[in-house]
Chain A
Amino acid sequence: MQSNNGFYGQFGGSYIPEILFASQQQILRAFEEAKQDPSFLAELNQQWQEFSGRPTPLTFCANLTEYFGGARIYLKREDLNHSGAHKMNNVIGQGLLVKRMGKKRVIAETGAGQHGIATALVAARLGLECTIYMGAKDIERQYPNVFWMKQLGAEVVPVTTGAQTLRDALDEALRDWSSSHEESHYLIGTSCGCAPFPEMVAFFQSVIGNEVREQSVAQFGKFPDRLYACVGGGSNACGLFLPFVNDKEVAMVGVEAGGKGLALGEHSIRLSHNLGAPGIAQGFATMFLQDDHGQLQETHSIAAGLDYVGVSPIIAHLAETKRIEMTYAMDQDVVNACTLLLKKEGIIPALESSHALAGAFKDAAKLGKDQHIVINLSGRGDKDIFNVAKAVEDDTFPAFLQSYLASYPIREQGE
């Protein structure tokens, strides 16, 4: 979706410290040129195919369809990207842009670690230095991803300010960028931040919806009736939705993290139920979770990747203009949706993506049998093994961890 000078209705824009002005302009120009350059687009496509494994399939879920007895349920399999999430689409795109701009280092923030992994992979492949900022709390929740980032050669910096989650990591990445903009690119992982980041990330992610357009027509002869995506920052939702934005017959549902409850601090719901308010922070205007004094608030979700205080200005605008419907799923519904997909279809979803599943499952039985819905499976759940084991109260898992730890050679400090 084209912005109006960086704005989508009242949202978007570029509210950055003066120090970043020149770099922001450089990215703006580089992106404008690159997206119209056939050689850039050809290389992007080639990397998407050869490195990430695109196109990802559209998978029909016969068992789930039968189970709910309503709409025909399809999954867009972004979990099958290299690194296991849609994040790869954007990172490849921005990585190629970094080379084009002649910079040698990338900075990224990560919540769940999926964007961090994808960035570390692409940095390794393109020969770029890589620094990843991650909230100390998220490092605890998603350690396996941290391990891989380090093995890939990235520097992972724990962020111990504030709530020690994604938003703090984003602030710290912005600070690094302020100090290093001459040689570094801030490779933001979702469609947030100052212009042109929201538009650029959405552009790279739109490969998801563009493929669904072709695949749905090929597989069931029309566009889907309803689309579902989880909304953290909003990049996988932008990717699925934007190519259909002018197809009025296609309904779109964004699912936010309801967390533990609707009290401030227990969820990450910015758009549904008027829980967020318009604000300007972290470089852009959008709906933020904040108090009456304009201080951003702590958030919660069982899925680290949805645990963010703001949201894409594009999604905020589409929600405000009622082009998309916004809803939320509670942590418990998310775990239930995750286990249902495991048992019925033999697919392990990320907890982020399980929000989209939960949102769709609430509607599926009520929809007619002639309705076709597509749920964006933004990522796979391998990274969530510890959290899911805890949530389903599996008691063999702690025993395994204990015995594994007992056999783990603990070295002396400093060795």
Chain B
Amino acid sequence: MSSLAQFTQQKLQHKSILAMTHVVYGYPTVDESLAWMTRLLEEGVDFIEVQFPFSDPVADGPSIVAACHQALGQELNVDTCLTQLGALAKNFPESRIVLMSYLNPMYRFGLKKLAKRAAEENICGLILPDLPIEAAQEYRQACHDKGIDPIWLVTPATPKERLAMLAKQAEGFLYCVARSGVTGQSCHQNKTPNTELDSYLAEIKQHTNTPLGVGFGLRNKGQIDALLGKAEIAILGSALLDAYNQGGQDAGIKLIKSLFD
């Protein structure tokens, strides 16, 4: 079992579901985003998913797109980001940091180097939503060599056979997209038929013991409660960003407490 999966199992002995909170690195500024991450870690969130901004984040909805574009008003550097996250990871050993981005900035940085640097900085997982597993041989090898978990996504539209294939290869945790579409509340949302989340998660569970993280569109307590016993990690992205935009860190923390306490 990977260290990330082990961490999840251990934490679950005292909690019914773990919280993974999403933060856009560099939004609204680099210092502010680091301060926000520090606060989240002080409050004891289990995971932070840090999104390194890309100019063309095609799997994201309006809130995250806007944050990424604003963050890119500064020149952001992958290496510096990793160093800064490393410092946080060292100070908060009770939590874990995973890095999420799109392929191009990471490809430009070098996928091998990414795995090496992530390992050096105690970043334990990497999420690249536009890298299909079929095209990822080198990246997976680099991750394995350094003990980093490449985290894969499955969606309600993933064909059954492929779902089984991805679930079997899952490492760290499997990122289960809760509904068809992009992150957050979006103008495209009403085009999406409702997903039978329970049967979808049950189907995935048949193929893997790796923890399941569920994200995309989670915003209220009812949705989190509905995941208890069916998934191990609830991922809070756009809803947290929206709360933060409206009322700053305090509003964000209040939302987390209302969902997870």
Could you tell me which A residues sit within 8 Å of B by CB distance? 13-23, 25, 161-162, 167, 171, 174-176, 178-182, 184, 277, 279-283, 288, 290, 292-297
Contacts and interface: CB of A to CB of B under 8 A. Distances in A.
A279 B177 contact: no
A96 to B, nearest CB: 24
Interface in B230-244: none
Interface string B191-216: 11100000000000000000000000
A184 B193 CA distance: 13
Q: Give the size range of B's interface with the partner.
A: 35 or more
A176 B188 CA distance: 6
Interface string B214-235: 0000000000000000000000
Nearest to B182: A175
B192 A292 contact: no
Interface in B87-109: 102-109
Contacts of B57: 171
Contacts of B60: 175
Interface string B145-170: 00000001111011100100010000
B157 to A, nearest CB: 5
B177 A182 contact: no
B135 A179 contact: no
B141 interface: no
Contacts of B192: 179-180
26 contacts: A16-B130, A17-B59, A17-B129, A18-B166, A19-B157, A19-B158, A21-B132, A21-B158, A21-B162, A161-B66, A162-B69, A167-B56, A171-B56, A175-B186, A178-B181, A178-B182, A179-B180, A179-B188, A180-B192, A281-B102, A282-B56, A288-B104, A293-B105, A294-B108, A296-B104, A297-B55
Given A178-B182, A180-B192, A295-B105, A18 B56 contact: no
B77 interface: yes
Contact of B177 (A18, A171, A181, A283): A18
A214 B78 CA distance: 54
B129 A280 contact: no
Contacts of A184: 191
B54 A17 contact: no
B261 interface: no
A294 B135 contact: no
Of B130, B153, B157, B159, most A-chain CB atoms within 10 Å: B130
Given A175-B58, A175-B182, A176-B188, A19 B104 contact: no
Given A179-B180, A179-B192, A16 B132 contact: yes
Contacts of A15: 103, 130-132, 135
Of B54, B59, B129, B177, most A-chain CB atoms within 10 Å: B59
Contacts of B76: 293
B252 interface: no
B108 A181 contact: no
Contacts of A18: 129, 132, 152-155, 158, 166, 177
A174 B131 CA distance: 15
A137 to B, nearest CB: 15
A176 B191 CA distance: 8
Contacts of B38: none
Interface in B57-89: 57-62, 65-66, 69, 72, 75-78
A148 to B, nearest CB: 24
Contacts of B104: 279-281, 288, 290, 294-296
A23 B159 CA distance: 10
Given A19-B180, A279-B107, A293 B153 contact: no
A19 B177 contact: yes
A360 B60 CA distance: 43
Nearest to B79: A293
A19 B69 contact: no
Given A15-B135, A16-B130, A171-B56, A21 B157 contact: yes
8 tightest CB-CB pairs across the interface, nearest first? A294-B108, A179-B181, A179-B188, A294-B105, A180-B191, A17-B59, A19-B155, A294-B104
B188 A178 contact: yes
B103 to A, nearest CB: 5
Contacts of B106: 294
B33 interface: no
Contacts of B153: 17-18
Contact of B108 (A20, A174, A292): A292
Given A15-B103, A161-B65, A281-B103, A171 B58 contact: yes
Contact of B107 (A16, A22, A182, A294): A294
A72 B65 CA distance: 51
B113 to A, nearest CB: 13
Of B60, B182, B189, most A-chain CB atoms within 10 Å: B182
Contacts of B55: 162, 295-297
Contacts of B152: 18
